[in-house]
Amino acid sequence: MKIEQQKRYRAWAEIDLSALEHNVNVVRGNLPSQTAFMAVVKANAYGHGDEAICKKLWELGVQWFAVSNLEEALAVRSFCPYSEIFILGYTPPEFAPELARNNIIQGVVSTEYAKQLQQFAHQPVRCHLKIDTGMGRIGFRYNTPDDCAAALKPLFGLEKLSIEGVYTHFAVADSMMPNDMMYTNNQQDFIIAIYDKLKESGCPVKHLHFMNSAATILRPNPRATLARVGIVMYGLQPNYMETDIRIPLKPVMSLRSVVSQVKTIQEGDSISYGRMYIAPSPRKIATVTIGYADGYARLLSNRAQAILHGKRCLVVGRVCMDQLMLDVTDVPTEIKPGDVVTMFGTDGNETITADELASIYDTIGYEVVCGISKRVPRDTINCNV
Ligand SMILES: *Cc1c(COP(=O)(O)O)cnc(C)c1O
């Protein structure tokens, strides 16, 4: 970023499009040749900024995009006019004409919903049928693939639905525990059986998809025509994965802020609300212009580290709405207002990941990046340009 621009910002998220390119290439290298890459860009591309991310992905040859709702779908349609856009979540059936007009594919979760879409549509709505094979969230839920396929068959008679695929979502694909792996196998067998049974009974569909990031990395399956890839594209670990997955990912987002003031405090002096931090000895403290209103969680108070001049420093005292304090006593270089602080990302030889922060307050990297708030500008960089 240009220095003048940086001075205006109190905190910003740096979005590295060359890291995105790297991750897409790594994931694609792991996919069976039959399986196309569907980029999951819901929630403003996991907080990274959907416009820059979608445009870059399209440039990289990604044609499929998944979002959570119509609003997001229309945004992607404006960035990538010729892409295939898939809505994973609920769209009120009244919007069937809007879906068709914008050539958006809708996930259909029940017979009732299918009939409602049929009722409101003027022209055929493209859709994939969502089967709940064990996630317990949305979808057709039956005990056996036979029962399920039998229930789906009549939907092919609805002339305002253009059914092009079936799909499901895994609950524990990120786990290598034997029971969890068996659970995922069962989910996978179930959806594949439905796909095959529909074909046998004269209702073939083109697409079959079930892999998320974890499954794409740990158990790529050539039966899938599409893989729905989210978190690893952004360079973070799938949900609960305890051991780092063995592919070289690069985090796309870094979060940076600046020092506003530096001071020295004496032994026994306290820092911030609640006086949670009491200096054990004279300390040098830097105030930084980022807080929980930016999405830097208050649960990180007195626990997380940030990087200043290539050195890790502890966040001391409570994180405030717009500011926090760092113990910079051990940073040997001179610190001035305006110096850049890396909340997560790389500075010199030190790296803090969103996953590291997530583990401190018992969540997942997904929530950290999605939680970076709207007032934090997204600043794209592209090392390849
Ligand atoms: C969010 C989502 C994904 C992507 O999950 P990752 O773990 O980020 O890869 C895939 N499928 C569905 C249905 C989702 O909701």
DSSP secondary structure letters along 149-183? HHHHGGGGG-TTEEEEEEE---SSTT--SHHHHHH
Q: Is there a contact between 95 and 70 (Cβ–Cβ < 8 Å)?
A: yes
Ligand 1 closest atom vs CA 366: 8
Tell me which residue has its CA closest to atom 7 in ligand 1: 213
- The SS3 call for residue 10 is coil
Per-residue model confidence (pLDDT) at position 240 = 62
Ligand 1 atom, smallest distance to 169 CA: 13
Nearest-angstrom CA–CA distance, 311 and 326? 11
CA of 65 to the centre of ligand 1 (A): 11
C-alpha closest to that of 160 among 128, 117, 203, 129: 117
Burial 22-59 (b: 16+ CB within 10 A, else e): bbbebbbebbeeebbbbbbbbbbbbbbbbbbbbebbbe
Any residues with Cβ below 6 Å from ligand 1, and which?
Answer: 40, 42, 88, 169, 212-213, 228-231, 238
Burial class (CB in 10 A: 0-12, 13-18, 19+), 205: buried
Q: Which ligand 1 atom minimizes the distance to the CA of 68?
A: 15
Q: For the chain, what is the total number of helices (H) and then of strands (E)? A: 12, 19
**Which residues lie closer than 8 Å to 374 by C-beta, 6 or more apart?**
none
Cα of 326 to ligand 1 centre, how many Å? 35
* Marked catalytic residue, from 263, 273, 336, 374: 273
| Residue of 37, 86, 88 with the most ligand 1 atoms within 8 Å of its CB, for mutation | 88
Task: Measure CA of the first residue to CA of the last residue in the chain; give whole Å.
Answer: 14
Q: How far is the CA of 8 from the centre of ligand 1 (A)?
A: 36
For 43, 64, 65, the CA distances from 82, given in Å and listed in that order, are: 21, 10, 11
Tell me the best of 27, 40, 169 to mutate to test the pocket of ligand 1, counting ligand atoms within 8 Å of each CB and taking the most.
40
86: left (phi over 0), alpha (psi -120 to 50) or beta: beta
Whether 287 and 261 have beta carbons less than 8 Å apart is answered as yes
Nearest C-alpha neighbor of 370 from the set 231, 212, 216, 229: 231
- Measured from the Cα of 88, ligand 1's closest atom is 13
DSSP conformation class of 245: P
Specify whether 197 is catalytic: no
Measure 155 CA to ligand 1 centroid, in angstroms. 26
- Of 167, 228, 367, the residue with max ligand 1 atoms within 8 A of its CB, to mutate for a pocket test, comes to 228
Q: Which of 42, 46, 56, 234 is catalytic?
A: 42
Q: Pairing mode, if any, of strands 277-278 and 226-229?
A: unpaired
Per-residue pLDDT of the chain (385 residues; tens, 9 = 90+): 555 666 578 999 999 999 999 999 999 999 999 999 999 999 999 999 999 999 999 999 999 999 999 999 999 999 999 999 999 999 999 999 999 999 999 999 999 999 999 999 999 999 999 999 999 999 999 999 999 999 999 999 999 999 999 999 999 999 999 999 999 999 999 999 999 999 999 999 999 999 999 999 999 999 999 999 999 999 999 976 566 667 789 999 999 999 999 999 999 999 999 999 999 999 999 999 999 999 999 999 999 999 999 999 999 999 999 999 999 999 999 999 999 999 999 999 999 999 999 999 999 999 999 999 999 999 998 865 4
Hey, is 191 helix, strand or coil? helix
Distance 229 CA to ligand 1 centre (A): 7
What angle, 0 to 180 degrees and rounded to 10, lies between the N-to-C axes of helices 178-200 and 145-152?
Answer: 40
Give me ligand 1 centre to Cα 154, in Å.
Answer: 28
Residue 245: per-residue pLDDT: 64
Give percent helix, percent strand, percent coil of the chain, each to the nearest 5: 35, 25, 40
Protein residue whose Cα sits closest to atom 14 of ligand 1: 88
Q: Is 273 a catalytic residue?
A: yes
Helix (H, G, I), strand (E, B) or coil at 28: helix
Taking phi first (over 0 means left), then psi (-120 to 50 degrees means alpha), and beta for anything else, what does residue 311 get? beta
Instruction: Please give the pLDDT value at position 277.
Output: 98
In order, the DSSP letters of 94-151 are: GGHHHHHHTTEEEEE--HHHHHHHHHH-SSPEEEEEEB-SSS-SSSB--SSHHHHHHH
